[in-house]
Structure 1
């Protein structure tokens, strides 16, 4: 299996950033770690072995990125606006640096974003903000309402990075057309406290004519053994 380690100074984030690449061809997959997680989390959790066949066959090429959660939404000492601004810088890093690297290495136009728990927020938020770039997004046990990290603040970059806020108000025709072409898969446990938010976002999307697959799994299902099964179920499409 092709495995590459990359590190460079990010102009967007003004610090060194690291990532791992797995595979040689196929759909490009942007992989986000869980809250405050590292770029090697999915490898450590055995997810590359889980997807080994897909990677060896050249169906998928994964780009596992680092998070800056501790500098953005989890930086409780910062004003919420500053937390949101760090999120904007993170997106700039992803789009202008990581995805640019992925395109240099692999011109497959199909891009998947995927993450679990807080990583699902990043995966789905990026897809909903940039449907011109993303083809499929897979959120595993995700949260899509950033309010609890905003301390009662809204508007500006906070609003613009809160899918539960901006999707109900989306009225841009061009963006709506792009969003309606996006494959959106939201998987969550029936007993997961985040189920209500997943159902809310799914409904908000449908109300805008944006199709999506909401999949409710038995039990809590908010842990790696469940995410493994979810990933294998949805990485190739809807069940």
Structure 2
């Protein structure tokens, strides 16, 4: 399985820090956000990684290189302007291949997420070994979290591993998902498209699975959040 890390966003809410540093390279507890993902993916045996970038993307390439220092093989998908999540995937499809892949946002902090669990979540056959018709099998598998302060209403309901747009309680999408390439087949390379609309479309068809992740997870969206995450490190340095 291959992985994609989204790293093309501008990080407007993190300015002025992101004026001179791409958001995924901001450090949390001594390590760039994106490096936490690379290390966790490699630990799970997922070593082929695609990273898209736009704003200050050369700095990401300079920091990570070809990935060999982490035990990874990193390929880059450059975007002149950020193409959003689904657009970024479609633009990088020539690097991702024909099999399901895992994708994670480069600006979330989830140091204990176990990527080993993502490799067998999308099934082509039922429990009796019968192939699912193409219009019945899940096209993606989403990881959800309890709702954070910035998304109190949540995004999706979950019923026995089936994700839906309606129902309660609602859970927050963790920006970690496993996707089949067919989900993005209608998007042209270079087209700007968000992934949320696609998720909801397939959820209405009953083709989205998922589960709740309750480990440490933070969508690092503000300077205050970054400072809060790094506070234990700052206290240790003063001691």
| TM-score when normalising by structure 2 | 0.35
Higher relative contact order (CA 8 A, sep 6+): 2
More helix by share: 1
- Structure index of larger Rg: 2
| TM-score when normalising by structure 1 | 0.35
